[in-house]
A and B are shown apart, each in its own frame.
Chain A
Amino acid sequence: MVKQGITIVSGMAIGIDSIAHKAVLEEHGNTIAVLPCGLENIYPEENKKLFQDIINNNGLVLSEYPPKKQATSKKFLERNRIVSGLSIGVLIVEAMHRSGTSVTARYAIEQKRKVFVPPHEIGDKNGVGTNKLLKQGAIIVTKTKDIIDNFKFLKYKDMEEIKLNCEKKFKNISPIDKKQTQKDSKILINKKIEVLKNKRKLQINSKETNDLHKIYELIENTAITIDEIQEKTNINISKINNCLFILEIEGYIKKVAGGGYICN
């Protein structure tokens, strides 16, 4: 969505909110955070850094409360009415039965905003609320284009177009750096696209390169435990631990709760 030039509005809470804001910042897009508390009393505290990052990146942080007001559960719900009100459409990724997100959806409907929902499996606990919204007539989406196409005044730009736009932008940069930057940007964009399609290629030179490759091959998007890696590769545990450490330090993989690893 950011790449499409759309501003993302969210609540800067833990979870999907923070993820959304961070994603925008990575792409240098526009974002608005609406807080359920005063601006001098940021909740949750962990997101103080995110708060600064948003401001430093020309983002907007809003609050309807006096600066020192504390966050309460009631304010969370109130905040959501501003989030939906500021937006042209609301994308609800996950919602449990009777969750706060469902309330946001209700606000959105009252405010005549479009509600978008990705489909969930019937048994999925996190999909009970969203599936209910679908029944009530929310718009089902599976990719960015689905959302864009719902607004007549927006036009979907595909990846190639974005690439061209980027190049156009770089054309305005001073002629000395132009060639270099252009080249860099091309590589950068290609790399990003590659990441989207596939996981990163391993480029480490170490004495355990062979083991590193074997292990890295096994690590996908779903968490895999050390024991499973050991079972599949038959490499000794201390060596696996060592390799995982190198991979993690180099940013190829990430450790998640439960002791599993996923690719980054």
Chain B
Amino acid sequence: MLSNVKSITLLGLKGHLISIQVDISRGMPTFEIVGLPGTSIKEAKERVKIAIKNAGIEFLSRKIVVNLSPANIRKEGSSFDLPIAVGILLASEKVKYVKELFNESIFVGELSLDGTIEKINGILPICIEAKRLGIKNIFLPVQNAKEASIVKGLNIIPINNLKEIIDFLNGNLEIKFENNNFNMLKGEPTYDVDFSEVKGQENVKRALEIAAAGGHNCLLIGSPGSGKTMLAKRIPTILPDMNLEEILEVTKIYSIVGLTSNEQPLIETRPFRSPHHTITSTSLVGGGKSPKLGEVSLAHLGVLFLDELTEFNKNTLEVLRGPLEDRKITISRINSAISYPCNFMLIASMNPCPCGYYGSKEKACTCTEEQIRKYINKISGPMLDRIDIHIEVNSVNYDNLSSKVETEKSIDIRKRVNTARKKQLERYKKYKIYSNSELNSTQLELFCKLDEKCKRILEIAFEKLALSSRAYSRILKVARTIADLANSDNIKQEHLAEAIQYRSLDRKYWKH
């Protein structure tokens, strides 16, 4: 007999409806899965076979063919175990066929050998697609139920094991999920770290506040132990609050890689990713045979922190140029081209020279000028072009570390950042951009107008401080953010002056 069960698979962040057709006929006892299954789906054969047997049902010695339709999409993952098992049970008439129920339901879940249904990844995007397609019921693993309930209006049926679903479909068991109305949003996001823990460093904190307010990429330069990493880790705590749309977008991504949990179904804090410098370009931007998410996408709407920027493989860093510009990454394969979003803020840190102490007060630098120049040149020009703020971090002296003076809390800084960001959102409503860092050259002319006095100051600054020409648009963007923080409609002289101070690497003394 022939049966037809529905499920949803993910291609990138998007769900696709797949129907699982099972046919059982007389012939040599075989079990075949067709329709471009990946390795993990091919292996489902054994799991399904043994799980059915262990649920107390005889697995028929017939010719069984499973087709995953449409057959031209490559399918991956273990979420097809449950629909395949249900399809076989249906085709062998072990469960009752109710037309309405099967037409309006999808099944997802992985089977273990004893019939237990295990958690799968990507349940949120699956549910979103299900709702869009007008599906009413979704049968899923118990551990995924809470995350699925984020999507309102779906009838969620959490299943513990294969036996349960057989009883349910035969009408011998009732399963009710009443978790639909719990308060998912906690409101204020909570972070483990806070800016008040950083003593001193007021200058860097100010620079990071500006970076957070305008979404500017930022490079921290300082000797070992000056607190670069400590500062960078706290950046998410001052980033503007996420709205529901953003929370869902981040949760979707985290759902796919399996980083969500039942206790914390929604990701309400901005992501902070700090990959080690040995990372390959594939794991940074994503890729592989069946394209996987990279660190840039995991840092979507949050912070990507590259510690010791100069230690990264040069090719790995160059790969970042596209995503930094486009704010999304498209991975093309023969079967499919998948786009992942990656609108992140890049925070990088590096030492000023190979020994780490160039310009430091505590220790003398042992590098030659040639060595320093080579070290700085490891960061390519196009890469530097995409970083708006460079700031030097100095170590804090002991008195400062042990002082009990109250430093500002992240939440207070965040309040200012929020106001500045709101101003930007309001201003760029028509242009589909969210922050000053995204301004292109035409928009720059439109929104960063300078009066004659400011123009002259900029001219003098370029001449006297020997700034490089690429600094020009960066300075304007940062000045725009400083003006927003000061709640000023126009860029004034003092905003420009401060912005110029955040262009360390353009200064002469780095270029010898």
**Which of A's residues lie within 8 Å of B, judged by CB?**
14-15, 46, 125, 223, 225-227, 230-231, 237-242, 244-246, 248-249, 251, 255-260
B residues within 8 A CB of A244?
501
By the criterion CB–CB under 8 Å, are B512 and A260 in contact?
no
By the criterion CB–CB under 8 Å, are A249 and B464 in contact?
yes
B residues within 8 A CB of A255?
465, 507, 509
By the criterion CB–CB under 8 Å, are A14 and B369 in contact?
yes
A residues within 8 A CB of B457?
249
B385 interface contact, C-beta 8 A: no
B123 interface contact, C-beta 8 A: no
Q: Known: A238-B498, A258-B358. Contact between A125 and B364, CB under 8 A? A: yes
A226-B203, A242-B497 given; 6 more Cβ-contact pairs under 8 Å = A223-B361, A226-B202, A238-B206, A238-B482, A238-B486, A258-B359
B294 interface contact, C-beta 8 A: no
| Bound complex: CA A245 to CA B501 (Å) | 7
By the criterion CB–CB under 8 Å, are A241 and B498 in contact?
yes
Contact of A249 among B364, B460, B494 (CB under 8 A): B460
Which partner residue on chain B sits nearest A243 by CB separation? B497
Q: Known: A238-B482, A258-B358. Contact between A245 and B498, CB under 8 A? A: yes
Contact of A14 among B394, B498, B500, B512 (CB under 8 A): B512
By the criterion CB–CB under 8 Å, are A242 and B494 in contact?
yes
Which partner residue on chain A sits nearest B203 by CB separation? A226
By the criterion CB–CB under 8 Å, are A259 and B359 in contact?
yes
By the criterion CB–CB under 8 Å, are B206 and A237 in contact?
yes
B461 interface contact, C-beta 8 A: yes
Which partner residue on chain B sits nearest A250 by CB separation? B464
Which partner residue on chain B sits nearest A15 by CB separation? B369
Which partner residue on chain A sits nearest B507 by CB separation? A255
Give chain B's interface residue range (CB within 8 Å of chain A). 35 or more
Contact of B465 among A15, A225, A240, A248 (CB under 8 A): A248
A-B contact pairs, 11 of them (CB 8 A): A225-B394, A226-B203, A230-B203, A237-B205, A241-B203, A241-B497, A248-B464, A257-B352, A258-B394, A259-B393, A260-B394
Which partner residue on chain A sits nearest B364 by CB separation? A125
B191 interface contact, C-beta 8 A: no
B360 interface contact, C-beta 8 A: yes
Which partner residue on chain A sits nearest B207 by CB separation? A237
By the criterion CB–CB under 8 Å, are B359 and A249 in contact?
no
Q: Which 10 A-B pairs have the closest CB atoms?
A: A258-B359, A259-B392, A257-B359, A245-B497, A226-B203, A237-B206, A241-B498, A241-B501, A242-B494, A242-B497
| Bound complex: CA A115 to CA B108 (Å) | 87
B201 interface contact, C-beta 8 A: yes
By the criterion CB–CB under 8 Å, are B358 and A238 in contact?
no
| Bound complex: CA A227 to CA B223 (Å) | 16
B residues within 8 A CB of A230?
202-203
B residues within 8 A CB of A237?
202-203, 205-206
| Bound complex: CA A241 to CA B204 (Å) | 12
Q: Which B residues between 484 and 508 are near A, CB-CB below 8 angstroms?
A: 486, 494, 497-498, 500-501, 504, 507
By the criterion CB–CB under 8 Å, are B200 and A227 in contact?
yes
By the criterion CB–CB under 8 Å, are A256 and B509 in contact?
yes
| Bound complex: CA A244 to CA B500 (Å) | 11
B510 interface contact, C-beta 8 A: yes
B407 interface contact, C-beta 8 A: no
B179 interface contact, C-beta 8 A: no
Q: How far is the CB of A219 from chain B (nearest CB, A)?
A: 15
Which partner residue on chain B sits nearest A14 by CB separation? B369
Which partner residue on chain A sits nearest B359 by CB separation? A258
By the criterion CB–CB under 8 Å, are A227 and B394 in contact?
yes
**Chain A interface main SS type:** helix
B400 interface contact, C-beta 8 A: yes
A residues within 8 A CB of B400?
231
Q: Which among A223, A231, A256 has the highest number of chain B CB atoms within 10 Å?
A: A231
Contact of A258 among B205, B206, B360, B464 (CB under 8 A): B360
A residues within 8 A CB of B392?
258-259
| Bound complex: CA A17 to CA B244 (Å) | 62
| Bound complex: CA A223 to CA B362 (Å) | 12
Q: How far is the CB of B226 from chain A (nearest CB, A)?
A: 10
Q: How far is the CB of B494 from chain A (nearest CB, A)?
A: 5
Q: How far is the CB of A208 from chain B (nearest CB, A)?
A: 9
Q: Known: A226-B203, A237-B203, A248-B465. Contact between A257 and B509, CB under 8 A? A: yes
Q: Which among B393, B396, B497, B500 has the highest number of chain A CB atoms within 10 Å?
A: B497
By the criterion CB–CB under 8 Å, are A258 and B361 in contact?
yes
**Contact digits for B390-423, partner A, Cβ 8 Å, 1 yes 0 no:** 0111101000100000000000000000000000
A residues within 8 A CB of B364?
125
B residues within 8 A CB of A125?
364, 366
Q: How far is the CB of A129 from chain B (nearest CB, A)?
A: 15
B residues within 8 A CB of A245?
461, 497-498, 500-501
| Bound complex: CA A162 to CA B236 (Å) | 63
Q: How far is the CB of A137 from chain B (nearest CB, A)?
A: 28
| Bound complex: CA A226 to CA B393 (Å) | 10
A residues within 8 A CB of B393?
259
| Bound complex: CA A241 to CA B504 (Å) | 13
Contact of A246 among B486, B497, B511 (CB under 8 A): B497
Q: How far is the CB of A93 from chain B (nearest CB, A)?
A: 16
Which partner residue on chain B sits nearest A240 by CB separation? B203
Contact of A251 among B200, B391, B464 (CB under 8 A): B464
| Bound complex: CA A14 to CA B352 (Å) | 19
Q: How far is the CB of B484 from chain A (nearest CB, A)?
A: 13
| Bound complex: CA A251 to CA B509 (Å) | 16
Q: Which among A125, A231, A257 has the highest number of chain B CB atoms within 10 Å?
A: A257
A residues within 8 A CB of B203?
225-227, 230, 237, 240-241, 259
**Contact digits for B205-228, partner A, Cβ 8 Å, 1 yes 0 no:** 110000000000000000100000
Q: Which among B392, B501, B504 has the highest number of chain A CB atoms within 10 Å?
A: B501
| Bound complex: CA A26 to CA B94 (Å) | 100
| Bound complex: CA A249 to CA B223 (Å) | 27
Q: How far is the CB of A86 from chain B (nearest CB, A)?
A: 25
| Bound complex: CA A15 to CA B464 (Å) | 21
Which partner residue on chain B sits nearest A124 by CB separation? B364
| Bound complex: CA A46 to CA B413 (Å) | 43
By the criterion CB–CB under 8 Å, are A258 and B507 in contact?
no
B residues within 8 A CB of A257?
352, 358-359, 509-510
Contact of B202 among A223, A227, A248, A259 (CB under 8 A): A227
A residues within 8 A CB of B507?
255
By the criterion CB–CB under 8 Å, are B359 and A260 in contact?
yes
B residues within 8 A CB of A259?
203, 359, 391-394, 504
| Bound complex: CA A92 to CA B152 (Å) | 80
By the criterion CB–CB under 8 Å, are A258 and B202 in contact?
no
| Bound complex: CA A102 to CA B145 (Å) | 77
A residues within 8 A CB of B201?
227
| Bound complex: CA A15 to CA B501 (Å) | 25
| Bound complex: CA A252 to CA B391 (Å) | 22
